[in-house]
Amino acid sequence: MNQVIFISGTPCVGKTTLASELSKRLGANLVRINELAIGKDLILGIDNKKGYKIIDVPKLDVALGEIIDNLDSDKLLIVEGHLSHLCTGADKVIILRVHPSILEKRLADRQYSDSKIRENLEAEALDVCGVEAYESYGSDVCEIDVSDLSIDETINYVADVIFDKKEFPFGEIDFMNWLINC
């Protein structure tokens, strides 16, 4: 069994919901990257143009490493957040993907600004999180298109990945046509 699982992806793909439900079902420990960064005072400031919190990723990696190092050997740890894939220590990284046409509505429902919506849609179409994860983790990165999946279906797929029953290799999801046609 994989012991440390990172769940990442662009905002509004379902990371938080999935991680909460998955950790309950599997009896796993759960670390939310944003909460860890805030709790350890790793916020460097706010990007005035984009409105994002600027997080000290190297220090975040150290803080997460301490948690991983102190993990019981028989315990599963799920690390959730769109910066998790930039940290070290995962046995497997799961990138959740959502078609940009669906993601656009979710971002708008959360009242993201037009510029933040556009930036996140482009990041999803270009698979920014997946590429960044692949640069560090190679074949230990899985990508799951959850566009048309229920939370239960998503949980089952992710559990199958964790327990090495299914593979969803990096690079098989392609949303570039959306970007070209928009």
Measured between alpha carbons, how far is 115 from 178 in angstroms, rounded to an integer? 17
pTM (2 decimals)? 0.94
**Spatial contact of 14 and 96, defined as CB atoms under 8 Å apart:** yes
Q: For 20-73, what is each residue's pLDDT tens digit?
A: 999 999 999 999 999 999 999 999 988 887 777 889 999 999 999 999 999 887
**Spatial contact of 81 and 61, defined as CB atoms under 8 Å apart:** no
> What amino acid occupies position 51?
G
Measured between alpha carbons, how far is 55 from 59 in angstroms, rounded to an integer? 9
Q: Which residues contact 13 (CB under 8 A, 6 or more apart)?
A: 96, 97, 98, 103, 124, 146
Measured between alpha carbons, how far is 19 from 84 in angstroms, rounded to an integer? 12
Q: Where are the domains of the chain?
A: 4-181
Looking at residue 154, what is its pLDDT?
Answer: 97
Q: Kindly give the parts of the chain with pLDDT less than 70.
A: 1-2
Looking at residue 2, what is its pLDDT?
Answer: 56
CATH number of 4-181: 3.40.50.300
